[in-house]
């Protein structure tokens, strides 16, 4: 890891990953969901000129139950070739899970069952996304609050495909539900090696 900040006396603080400067991030695209919501959010024509990608999300869906994940599919691939590993906590319990599915499961997000106007937030790193010699790995950290009973997730996903990622499609795992107005999605390219 490289240092993210210098402290007094030459001590260094280290962060999660290998990024060293905010200038290493370059905005590629953003989507803000408008009135009426959106069934999917998609980033297309992603250039292969970065070392990694990062997606920052603030979202809520119209699901009426308490369980909804963002499902992310790369290059429109909806095959059963995605794996997920997760650690999570609810404030009163902790757990772990494994899943195989038709997309990366990116964290449970806030739904219409949670407190009004609550949105889930997460930051997803898509590592070495343009390397065609290996499968693509993602990692993310995210959470939502529900008046003290929300959840926090630390997850990794594996897309068992060696293609360079050129598009990302995100949708609700609940089927037929939409991202609510004011949900926000931002894609960044990371220039660092």
pLDDT along the chain (193 residues), means of 10: 40 43 83 96 97 95 84 96 93 90 87 84 96 96 82 94 98 90 96 73
In a domain? residue 114: yes
pLDDT value of residue 69: 85
Say how many C-beta atoms besides its own lie within 10 A of residue 12's C-beta.
11
In a domain? residue 155: yes
Alpha-carbon distances of 108 from 87, 133, 135, 172, rounded to whole Å: 12, 31, 24, 10
Q: d(Cα 40, Cα 67) in Å, to the nearest integer?
A: 18
In a domain? residue 12: no
In a domain? residue 88: yes
Q: Is 10 helix (H, G, I), strand (E, B) or coil?
A: helix
In a domain? residue 6: no
What is the residue range of 150's domain? 25-190
Q: Is 120 exposed, middle or buried (0-12, 13-18, 19+ CB in 10 A)?
A: buried
In a domain? residue 11: no
pLDDT value of residue 77: 97
- Sign of the C-alpha dihedral, residues 6, 154, 85, 185? negative
- Sign of the C-alpha dihedral, residues 174, 57, 151, 87? positive
pLDDT value of residue 12: 40
pLDDT value of residue 23: 60
- Domains identified in the chain, total number: 1
pLDDT value of residue 178: 94
pLDDT value of residue 21: 57
Nearest CA among 159, 123, 161, 163 for reference residue 143: 123
In a domain? residue 75: yes
In a domain? residue 2: no
pLDDT value of residue 114: 81
pLDDT value of residue 11: 41
Which distant-in-sequence residues (6+ apart) come within 8 Å of 11 by Cβ?
none
Identify the CATH number of the domain in which residue 138 sits.
Answer: 2.60.120
pLDDT value of residue 20: 47
For 123, how many CA atoms within 13 A lie in the half-sphere containing its CB?
A: 5
Tokens at 104, concatenated:
């990366």
């Amino acid at each position: 890891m490289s240092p993210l900040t210098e402290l007094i006396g030459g001590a260094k603080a280290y962060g999660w990953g290998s990024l060293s400067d905010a200038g290493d991030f370059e905005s590629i695209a953003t989507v803000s969901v408008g009135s009426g919501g959106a069934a999917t959010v998609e980033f297309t024509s992603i250039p292969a000129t970065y070392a990694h990608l990062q997606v920052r999300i603030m979202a809520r869906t119209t699901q009426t139950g308490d369980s909804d994940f963002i499902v992310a599919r790369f290059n429109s691939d909806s095959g059963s070739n995605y794996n997920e590993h997760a650690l999570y906590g609810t404030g009163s319990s902790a757990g772990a899970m494994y899943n195989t599915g038709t997309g990366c499961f990116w964290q449970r997000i806030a739904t219409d069952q949670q407190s009004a106007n609550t949105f889930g937030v997460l930051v997803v790193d898509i590592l070495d996304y343009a390397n065609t010699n290996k499968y693509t790995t993602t990692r993310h950290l995210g959470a939502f609050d529900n008046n003290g009973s929300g959840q926090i997730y630390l997850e990794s996903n594996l897309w068992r495909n060696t293609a360079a990622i050129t598009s990302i499609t995100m949708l609700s795992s609940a089927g037929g539900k939409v991202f609510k107005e004011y949900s926000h999605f931002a894609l960044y390219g990371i220039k660092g090696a």
